[in-house]
Amino acid sequence: MVEKVITLDNVSLIDFLGVENHNIKEVAAAFPMSKIISRGNEIRIKGTTPEITRISDILDSLMEHYQKYGKLTHENVQSYISHSGQPTGVNPGQPVLPDDDEVLVYGNRGIVVRAKTDNQKRLVEAAEKHDLVFAIGPAGTGKTYTAVAIAVRALKNKEVKKIIITRPAVEAGENLGFLPGDLKEKIDPYLRPIYDALDDMIPAEKLKFYTENRIIEIAPLAYMRGRTLNNAFILLDEAQNTTPMQMKMFLTRMGPSSKAIITGDRSQIDLPNKQKSGLVESIDILKSIKGISFVELDGRDVVRHRLVREIITAYEKAGQ
């Protein structure tokens, strides 16, 4: 007998192995002449060379499935075992997944992330065709969430080597200085919507690996100064709260093979003393440059509670 050890990196062990290692036990039951032991993030296989090869192929296919769809079911495991790692068709009782062309990311817990409205779809199409896209619209229109999904898809498809997400740290009626903690602890609440989106789309262990190794960076806009961002997908969120100087600084960070999406809401400018918004100024300055796309979202794109759409419409009518 020979032995092979497979290490599981950047996966949720409970989701991949199953409760009480049930998924691996199913694989082991299909190969009674071999011994499969799961301990921590290692799977140890003992058996003949032909069986170890087949088991390894099945585990590789299960890993690919998990990385794509974010979960493994009993039906998935049985199908990969039955078809030697190459399942065909849809298993009975397994939900039919949307066409791959519509899906941006298969997230955690079976979440399927895709553009839900016409303007969100226009944002996806614009990002595919242009290196720099502005997504402008009110709160709740899904512009940030969609932009994060586009960036995660590019990373998973190896179109870029990293994701960089940034926001200006501008106070919206609160004073940062009175918040407890160090700078990171003061800034993190402003970046919470970004973390929430990533939590939906990337398993916790893998997200931790990405952030610890700076494959995904989330930082205040001030940290971008002086950098050249190569082979990256860059997102600037809440861009209405940039100053003209900050916006120019950000726009000139793009390096070779980089793409950027800038999101903002012209109705929620929190800059002090009526200071001019860098987002508003940049739209006027850049609107005639080829290769830059501008996508406008509105109340029809709101995907929150139905009242949010009516609230936005009421404020627009009031000129607020």
pLDDT tens sequence across 229-282: 899 999 999 999 999 999 999 999 898 889 999 999 988 888 877 789 999 999
**pTM exceeds 0.85 for this model:** no
> How many whole angstroms separate alpha carbon 65 and alpha carbon 157?
14
The residue with tokens 């694989």 is: 27
Reported as a single tens digit per residue, the pLDDT across 112-153 is 888 889 999 999 999 999 999 999 998 888 899 999 999 999
Q: Of 226, 198, 227, which Cα lies nearest the Cα of 211?
A: 198
Q: Strand, helix or coil at 187?
A: helix
Asked if 33 and 48 touch (Cβ cutoff 8 Å), the reply is: yes
Reported as a single tens digit per residue, the pLDDT across 34-51 is 888 888 888 889 888 888
Q: Which residues in 266-293 are b (16+ Cβ under 10 Å) and which e?
A: eeebebeeeeebbbbebbeeeeeeeebb
> How many whole angstroms separate alpha carbon 139 and alpha carbon 258?
27
Contacts of 196 (CB under 8 A, 6+ apart): none
pLDDT category, 292, cuts 50, 70, 90? very high
Beta strands in the chain (DSSP E): 2-7, 35-39, 42-47, 103-106, 112-114, 132-136, 162-167, 216-220, 232-236, 259-264, 292-296
pLDDT given at position 206: 83
Reported as a single tens digit per residue, the pLDDT across 160-212 is 999 999 988 764 444 444 445 555 565 667 678 888 899 989 888 888 889 88
Region of residue 91 (phi > 0: left; psi between -120 and 50: alpha; otherwise: beta): beta
Residue 124 token pair: 């996806």
The residue with tokens 């799977």 is: 43
Reported as a single tens digit per residue, the pLDDT across 59-112 is 888 888 877 777 777 888 888 888 754 444 444 334 444 456 678 888 776 678
Q: Which amino acid, residue 267?
A: S
> How many whole angstroms separate alpha carbon 154 and alpha carbon 162?
9
Asked if 80 and 30 touch (Cβ cutoff 8 Å), the reply is: no
- How many C-beta atoms surround the C-beta of residue 148 within 10 A? 29
Q: Of 49, 47, 38, 50, which Cα lies nearest the Cα of 6?
A: 38
pLDDT given at position 221: 86
- How many C-beta atoms surround the C-beta of residue 312 within 10 A? 22
- How many C-beta atoms surround the C-beta of residue 98 within 10 A? 11
Residue 46 token pair: 């003992």
